[in-house]
Amino acid sequence: MKPRVVVTRNPPGDALRRVREAAEVWVWPENRPIDRMVLHTQIAEAAGLYCMLTDQVDTDLLARAPLLRVVSNMAVGFDNIDLAACAERGIAVGHTPDVLTDSTADIAWMLILGASRRMSEGIDVVRSGGWGEWNPSWLLGRDVSNTTLGIIGMGRIGRAVARRAVGFAMPILYASRSDKPDVEEATGAVRVSLRELLVRSDHVLVAVPLSAETRHLIGRDELELMKPTSNLVNIARGPIVDTDALVDALTAGVIRCAGLDVTDPEPLPSDHPLLDLPNCTVVPHTGSSTWETRAAMADVAADNLIAGLDGAPLPYRVPGT
Interface with ligand DGY (CB under 6 A): 53, 75-77, 100, 287-288
170 vs 314, which CB is nearer to ligand DGY? 314
Least Å distance between CB 198 and ligand DGY?
Answer: 23
From CA 46, how far away is CA 261, in angstroms rounded?
Answer: 33
Say how many residues make up the chain.
321
Specify whether the CB–CB gap between 261 and 239 falls below 8 A.
Answer: no
Cα separation values, 277 from 93, 115, 259, Å: 39, 12, 11
Q: Are 297 and 96 in contact (CB under 8 A)?
A: yes
Q: Which of 69, 118, 191, 237 is catalytic?
A: 237
CB of 98 to ligand DGY, least distance (A): 11
Cα separation, 88 vs 91, whole angstroms: 8
Q: Tell me how far, at minimum, the Cβ of 67 lies from ligand DGY, in Å.
A: 26
Q: In the bound complex, what is the minimum distance in angstroms from residue 297's beta carbon to ligand DGY?
A: 7
Closer residue to ligand DGY, CB minimum distance, 47 or 232? 232
Question: How far are the Cα atoms of 56, 72, 266 from residue 52, in angstroms, in the given order?
Answer: 9, 8, 14
Catalytic one of 216, 266, 292, 317: 266
Q: Is 24 a catalytic residue?
A: no
Q: Virtual CA dihedral for 42, 44, 48, 52, nearest 10 degrees?
A: 50
- Closest approach of ligand DGY to the CB of residue 299, in Å: 14
Angle between helices 101-116 and 119-127 (to 10 degrees): 70
Question: Which residue in the list 9, 200, 285, 294 is annotated as catalytic?
Answer: 285
Task: Compare residues 10 and 251 and give the one whose CB is closer to ligand DGY.
Answer: 10
Task: Report the amino acid identity of residue 30.
Answer: E
Check if 222 is active-site.
no
Q: Which is nearer to ligand DGY, 8 or 147 (CB)?
A: 8
- What residues are annotated to the active site? 237, 266, 285
